[in-house]
Amino acid sequence: MHIRYYFIMTVMCCAVFSVRAAQAQDVIPAEQHTSGGLAIVASSQGAGDTQAAAIPAQTAGVLTLQQAHADGLMHSPELASFSWDVRAAEARELQAGFLPNPELSVELENFAGNNEANAFRSLETTVAISQLFELGGKRGYRKRAAELEKNLAGWEYDIKRLDVFQEISSAFWEVLASQERVVIADALFDLAQQAHSSAAKKVAAGKAPPVEEVQATIALTTSELECRKTKSDFKSSRNRLASAIGKSAPEFEKAEGEFMALAAVPSLETLSAMLDDSPDMRRWKTELEKRKAEIKLTDAGAIPDVTISAGARYFNDTDDKVMVAGFSVPLPLFNRNQGERQEARCNAAKAAEEHKSAIVKIHSDLAQSYYSCASAFALAAALRDKAIPGAQQAFEVTRKGYWQGKFSYLMVLDAQRTLFELQQQYVDTLEDYHVNRVAIERLTGQSIQ
C-alpha cells in the first residue's frame, strides 16, 4: 500500500516538473510565420471546386482556357502528388513539437542470494520515473526548422501549379493555332479546286495552254496534302492539351479563345521588379531561412541534455520506504556535434550559391521571353495591318486580271502563295506571342493583362 502511494506521488511530481521545464525550455517560440506559398496552396487545393463553380457551363465540345486551367487543377496527377508532400511536411512539423516521453523504470535488488539474502527477504524495490530535458532551445529550433520546411513544400507546390498552368496554356494556344491553320488550309484547298476547275474550262475552250491545267492540278494536290497534314496536327495538339489537363483523351472538339488579340507587354524593368514577389524568389528566401534554422539547431546539439529521475524504494526486510532522485548528463568530451554543425554550414553555403545561380537564370529567362514576346507582337501587328491586307489586295487584282487575260496563271499562283504564306506566318507569330507571354506570367507568378 505504501509503495503504491510513493509511486503515485512520484509520477505526479515528475509530470508537474516536466510541464514547467517544457514551458521554460523554448527559448525560441514558434514564430507566427505564414508563408504566402501555404496560403496559395490552401486556396489552390480548394480552387478546383471554386473555379468550377465560377466558370459558366461549358458549351458542348468547346474548351476555354479558364476551363482548361480548372480541369488541370482538379485532374493533374502531378499536382495531386505534390499536395501529399505538403501534408507530409505538415506532419513533420507536428512531430517536431512533441516533448520526449518520460521513462518508467523498475529495479529489483538483493534477492535470490544465500543466508540473510535468501529468496526475497532482502529484496529492495525501486520504482522511478525519468524525464529527458532538452537544453539550448533544441525543441524551439527543431519546430522552427520543421515550420520552414512546411512553408518550403507549400512554395514548391505553388511553383508546380504554375508549371502545370504554363503547360496547359501553351498547349491551349497551340490548339488555337492549329485550328487557324486548318481554316487557312481549307480555304486554300477550296481556292485550288476553283482554280483547277477554271483552268480546265479555259484549256478545254482553247483559251489557255494545257500546262495551266497541269499547274492547277499540282496546286490542288499540294493543297490537299497540306490540308490533311494540318488536320492531323490539330488532332495531335488536342491530345497534348488533354494530357496536360490530366485526361487520357480529349473530351472537346475545339478550343475557344481570343487568339487574335494583341496587347503590348510591360517594360522589362517593370517585369523584373515583379520577380521579387514571384513564387520562385519566395521559395529561395524560405530555403535560406531554413538553412539558417538548421545551423542554429545543430549548434544547440552541442549542448548536452539533462535527464532527471525521481522515485520510491522499498526495503522488504525492514519494511522501510524512502525516496530516491538523481540526474545524468553526458560529458561533451569527444562528440560536440561537430560534424552536423559543419554539414549545416556547408548546406547553407551551397544554398546561397544556388540562390545566386537561380536569380541569374530567372532574369535571363525573363529577358529572353520578353524580347521574343515583344518581337512577335511587333511582327504580328505589322502582318495584320500592312502585309496581309496588301497581299490580299494583290491576290484579288491578280485573280481578276487572270480572268480578263491580263495575267498568267503562274502570277495567280505566286500571289496566292504569298498571301497564304503570310497568313501562316501570322498564325505562327501569334502562337509565339501567346506562348512567350505565358512564360512571362509563369516567371513573374502573376497576370500581366
In angstroms, the CA 93 to CA 150 distance is: 7
Alpha-carbon torsion, ordered 214, 220, 224, 230, to 10 deg: 120
| 287 close to 326: Cβ distance less than 8 angstroms | no
In angstroms, the CA 439 to CA 443 distance is: 6
**Residue 28: all three cell numbers together:** 525560441
**Residue 295: all three cell numbers together:** 545551423
Alpha-carbon torsion, ordered 368, 369, 374, 380, to 10 deg: 120
Q: Please state whether the predicted TM-score (pTM) of the whole model is above 0.85.
A: no
DSSP state of 331: -
Angle at Cα 183 formed by Cα 416 and Cα 179, nearest 5°?
Answer: 135
Q: Which of 239, 225, 230, 253 is nearest to 181 (CA)?
A: 230
Q: Which of 12, 82, 76 is nearest to 41 (CA)?
A: 82
In angstroms, the CA 373 to CA 434 distance is: 8
Strand partners, 313: 126, 322
For 213, residues 6+ apart whose C-beta sits below 8 A from its C-beta are 196, 199, 200, 203
What confidence score (pLDDT) does residue 208 get? 75
Scanning the structure block, which residue is given the C-alpha cell 532522485? 325
What is the CATH number assigned to the segment(s) 2-111+121-444? 1.20.1600.10
What confidence score (pLDDT) does residue 53 get? 34
In angstroms, the CA 384 to CA 185 distance is: 18
**Residue 120: all three cell numbers together:** 526475497
Q: What is the mean pLDDT of each run of 10 residues along the chain (449 residues)?
A: 42 41 38 31 33 42 92 88 90 93 92 71 90 94 95 94 95 96 92 84 80 85 92 94 90 92 93 94 96 95 95 88 94 92 96 96 96 96 95 89 77 88 95 96 90
What confidence score (pLDDT) does residue 126 get? 94
What confidence score (pLDDT) does residue 117 get? 61
